[in-house]
Structure 1
Amino acid sequence: MSARVKLGIAAVLLLPTIIAGSYLSGWLVTLLLHVNVPLSGLTYWRYLQALDMPAFQMYAGRIKMAGCIGYGSTALAWLGVLYPMLRTQKRATHGSARFAARSDLGKSGMLSKDPSGIIVGKSSGRFLRLSGTRHVLLAAGTRSGKGVSFGIPNALHYEGSLVMVDMKQEGFDITSKARSLLGPVFLFNPFAEDLRTHRWNPFAYVRADRLHRASDLQAISECLYKQTPGQDPFWANAARNAFEAAASLLFDRWQHAEQSGADAQELYPTLGAIYRLMSGNGDDLKAHFKSQLTQPGTSTATRTAFANITSLADQTFSSVIGVAQAPLLIFASRVLDEATSGNDFDLRSLRRLRQSIYVGVAPNRLAEARGILNLFFEQAIKLNTDVTPQKDPSVKHQCLFLLDEFAALGRIDCLVDGTTYVAGYNVRLACMIQSLSQLDDVYGPDKARTMITNLACRVIFAPSEQRDANDFSEMLGYTTERKQQRTRASGGNVSYTDIEERRALMLPQELKALSPKKEIVFVEGAERPVLCDKIRYYEDRDCTPKLLGAVEVPKLEL
């Protein structure tokens, strides 16, 4: 509180203090003089002025005593209120860290009922929400209840658009019916054993005109063929060129069929079609590529792109094609091929039409699905950071990306620096990881630290890794403990000395022993960290009414 504000409060309190003193002094003077007159704020002053009259000289002592007691007591009360506020607080020698009180939660806005706020915990029966456009990072080990206490409660209550990584499809089974009351619901489960999935084709977002086609295809190829640090960039670049050439050829065929009036739907480019084109027909692959270029409608740009590949030496050509085929081999699966051969939802409309997309991949398929999942989220985020709400009034909803097992998705390049600006596009991130070291492994220590810094809210459960426990203990800060030290002198005399010691608000071992019912929340800009309750959606009175089950999902036709 500034000095000006403190002085203002003192001045405001002074007037009622004077009025109270006048009434109290007036009441006392009538009591001491044994008179019965109507009491007002001027009673005492009338008797004080009457002291000049001879008849009142004998009562002067009583009148003055009434004023001293009346005004003195109210003045002391005024000073008693102001003293704690005006005095200079002694600075704690080693720190004054503590957890947030309820008043702190109110000041930080975490007790708001904003339906677009991200739920981060619960305190005294009320949800704690992160409002605005800030992002969240949740660090917790396996089987610690990330979905139970964070993922599912947010899927039930968040009222913007939602894109949710749902590995076991528990989120979909529990929350999709409730979210269908807000808008359309989709499940993209490209390895669905029961064949129930909606479809997504990344090429549906490639602009067909040749002016933009090349750059849009490059965005897809850069995601599929990432440059690995320390390796020769030639192979990744050459694989991208081969992929872009194949995709360009498929677009040429599709456009030619459309212009010819033929049914072109079956010719629309897909990742499975590129896999089959690159696999050849069993003959020499170079000769196969050259034969494809003789078909009508093939553009000069496509011929040039293939020429750059087929002109390579045979051994180099084979190696490049091998690198290009690697992320596409999974499209030998008919289910995955069909799941990526159409578009049942439009990623571009996430901020314009409130909707929910669950991305479900079984944990045992995660390793092979990493490339396709990485491409999905890279494309979804890029398509929703093209125009700000200020420039396009149709952008009226927030979109929350609820990313469970965030590190398992691989390096999403647009998020390396994107955490600093995506909030301005009404895009919010809630990333769930097992430990901070996971981000170091995927993004490198420097980029990982930048991302963590830009994720304004951090939620932690009891850490399992010692490094994380040490980091979180440092983040919580230190407090000053005052102790009395007893000393016995040689003569038998005992003396006591007050000493101050530094102590972490929570030691690393205390963090590792944190109750499974508790969590700690750090919010950028808030003065204090929050120690609060985890949510258990299945026994929470705010969640259980929304547990309506799952919606129907169409079945692929193979």
Structure 2
Amino acid sequence: MENKKPFKMGGLVLGKDKQLMGNEKIYFIGEDVHGLIIGATRCGKGRTLVLQTIGVLAMAKESSIVCDPKGENHDYTAHFLRKCGIDVFTLDFKDPLKSNHYNFLQSIIDAVAEGNLSQAIDYVWDITGALVGEAKGEKLWSNGEASIIASCIMIVVFENMDNPAYQNLTNVFYFIAEMCKAPKQGEEMALARYMKQLKVKNPTHPAVGLVAISDIAPSKTRGSFYTSALTTLRLFTNPLIYEMTKTTDFRARDIGTKPTTVFMILPDGKTTYYSLASLFCTQVYSGLSDFADKLGGRLPIRVNYVLDEFGNFTKIPEFAGQLSVGGGRGIRFNLFLQSLAQLEEKYGREIARIIRSNCETWIYLQAEDLETQKEVSERLGKYTTTSYSLSSSQQHYTSNASQSVNLVGRELLTPNEVSRIRRPYNLVTSRNDPVIMTSPDLSKWLFNDFYGLGSKEHNNKLRMIRSDARKTHQEEGIILWGIWKKYQ
């Protein structure tokens, strides 16, 4: 492996051909385009496309952000990636004490430290929008909740620039929980008293403007804002999530300046932490976009999102817009879905259509629903074929026969024919002609040797050894700001 030349570029793997002398010819997408991969549960997309794509990107020294249900991708490839000179980080929601640290407030902290308050406020609204999501009913409720979270984030960050241990979302949760408790009769809420003092102390404090939306609502309505805000931030009360998010080991711009792979390891079968995975993807994209703009519009190192189980992600704000402009900045998305219905369920019919149209390359592995098969069939288009017909009739002692030849249109593949595609074959469509590619199981690729893999029993043992070798943090307990004690 050490003697092999790195690839000039990498991308989403489509398939391979065997060559002489045991070599392989790998087909992948090198252009700045996004990919949509359709694969039903247990269709083998991880072992036929994902693991190979991770390897090709590493050999091209491109960065990647990989959604990794169960942690298999990390366990199989991390050793190989480091040999390729890739910095490897994990956000491990399955075993947080083995995770790297990532503080979701770090971009805001850095902007405040640089004196760039306008950018800090933009980042506050980015994180708040991702956490709260779009309004499903009247906007008053979501806007009020977002206003509370945004203002309290800015308070926790701005007032603790000399105390970084308090600058995290766990402290934001407890600040809201303690400062927004119902006051005794005749008394004012602690948060209201705090904000009054803040306005006197610093009339231009950024939190003052952020809280204005909720301030104009009646007191009973504000109570709903506080409850909703605490519900949204509830995951950060978990001591293990606090341990994972209390500080930062890397920043978004690092991913765009040196070859880096971040594995988002998520529990298999649970969608609890997919909202935090969505938030991470949103924050990294925002940070990379701002960084690219400072460098003339493009990142020094191309960044690839490899989002397996994308259908489980919570809705990413303005995702269609990210796809539209991301490629030009050197940011590519590869979205793995079980069916197209998952996209419509999360984003609605119109936005889902825009997302699909922004993904130039589609790879169809297998789908169980007819609507997905129909859309893939329609995407392939039709071709002209010849139709023959023969008819005859007989009356008494005479007979007549006629035949005709017609040109008719026919689907290149009917929905039924699409449904019959099985591994190792996959169907690739793009702006060029469609093609059937061969992408066998990982065991039949050279990457299997590069990763040190073998039989199923060997791989299970190897995963256990590599997982046990990962550094484990000590749980130190939650450190709280405690400012609310002055107001109780």
- 1:464 aligns with 368
- Conserved? CA contact 1:483–1:500, under 8 Å: yes
TM superposition shift of 1:331 = 1.5
Inter-partner Cα distance in structure 2 for 1:416 and 1:218: 18
* TM-score for both structures, normalised by structure 1: 0.72
- 2:484 aligns with none
Inter-partner Cα distance in structure 2 for 1:153 and 1:173: 14
- 1:423 aligns with 327
- 2:224 aligns with 319
Closer/same/farther in 2, CA of residues 337 and 296 from structure 1, 3 Å limit: farther
Aligned residue type for 2:10: S
- Conserved? CA contact 1:156–1:543, under 8 Å: no
- 1:437 aligns with 341
Aligned residue type for 2:231: A
- The reply to whether residue 505 of structure 1 matches residue 404 of structure 2 is no
Provide the secondary structure at the position in 1 that maps to 2:155.
Answer: helix
- 1:213 aligns with 120
Inter-partner Cα distance in structure 1 for 2:181 and 2:273: 30
Closer/same/farther in 2, CA of residues 121 and 214 from structure 1, 3 Å limit: same
Cα deviation, 1:18-59, whole Å, max 9, x if unaligned, reads: xxxxxxxxxxxxxxxxxxxxxxxxxxxxxxxxxxxxxxxxxx
- 2:288 aligns with 384
* TM-score for both structures, normalised by structure 2: 0.81
- 2:54 aligns with 155
- The reply to whether residue 478 of structure 1 matches residue 385 of structure 2 is no
- 2:157 aligns with 251
Inter-partner Cα distance in structure 1 for 2:201 and 2:35: 48
- Conserved? CA contact 2:179–2:191, under 8 Å: no
- The reply to whether residue 170 of structure 1 matches residue 170 of structure 2 is no
- The reply to whether residue 120 of structure 1 matches residue 22 of structure 2 is no
Provide the secondary structure at the position in 2 that maps to 1:413.
Answer: coil
Cα deviation, 1:224-260, whole Å, max 9, x if unaligned, reads: 112224x1101111111111221222123213xx3xx
TM superposition shift of 1:370 = 3.1
- Report the identity percentage: 17
CA RMSD of superposed structures (Å): 2.8
- 1:192 aligns with 95
Inter-partner Cα distance in structure 2 for 1:197 and 1:297: 42
Cα deviation, 1:89-110, whole Å, max 9, x if unaligned, reads: xxxxxxxxxxxxxxxxxxxxxx
- 1:237 aligns with 143
TM superposition shift of 1:462 = 2.6
Closer/same/farther in 2, CA of residues 396 and 169 from structure 1, 3 Å limit: same
Closer/same/farther in 2, CA of residues 290 and 531 from structure 1, 3 Å limit: same
Cα deviation, 1:522-554, whole Å, max 9, x if unaligned, reads: 022x1x201111231122134432347658543
TM superposition shift of 1:117 = 3.0
- Conserved? CA contact 2:52–2:447, under 8 Å: no
TM superposition shift of 1:184 = 1.1
Cα deviation, 1:57-97, whole Å, max 9, x if unaligned, reads: xxxxxxxxxxxxxxxxxxxxxxxxxxxxxxxxxxxxxxxxx
Inter-partner Cα distance in structure 2 for 1:304 and 1:413: 23
Q: 1:454 aligns with which of 355, 358, 371?
A: 358
TM superposition shift of 1:310 = 6.0
Aligned residue type for 2:145: A
- Conserved? CA contact 1:252–1:299, under 8 Å: no
- The reply to whether residue 201 of structure 1 matches residue 118 of structure 2 is no
Provide the secondary structure at the position in 2 that maps to 1:356.
Answer: strand
TM superposition shift of 1:296 = 12
TM superposition shift of 1:509 = 1.2
Provide structure 1 residue ranges, at least 5 long, that are not aligned to the other structure: 1-112, 259-263
Inter-partner Cα distance in structure 1 for 2:181 and 2:335: 47
Closer/same/farther in 2, CA of residues 503 and 248 from structure 1, 3 Å limit: closer
Equivalent residues in 2 for 1:330-369, closer than 5 Å: 330-366=235-271, 368-369=272-273
TM superposition shift of 1:123 = 4.5
Closer/same/farther in 2, CA of residues 342 and 390 from structure 1, 3 Å limit: closer
Provide the secondary structure at the position in 2 that maps to 1:179.
Answer: helix
- Conserved? CA contact 2:147–2:212, under 8 Å: no
Aligned residues: 434
- The reply to whether residue 329 of structure 1 matches residue 234 of structure 2 is yes
Worse-matched range after superposition: 286-295 or 435-444: 286-295
- Conserved? CA contact 1:398–1:427, under 8 Å: yes
- 1:557 aligns with 474
- Conserved? CA contact 2:298–2:328, under 8 Å: no
- 1:288 aligns with 190
Inter-partner Cα distance in structure 2 for 1:219 and 1:495: 71
Equivalent residues in 2 for 1:136-151, closer than 5 Å: 136-151=35-50
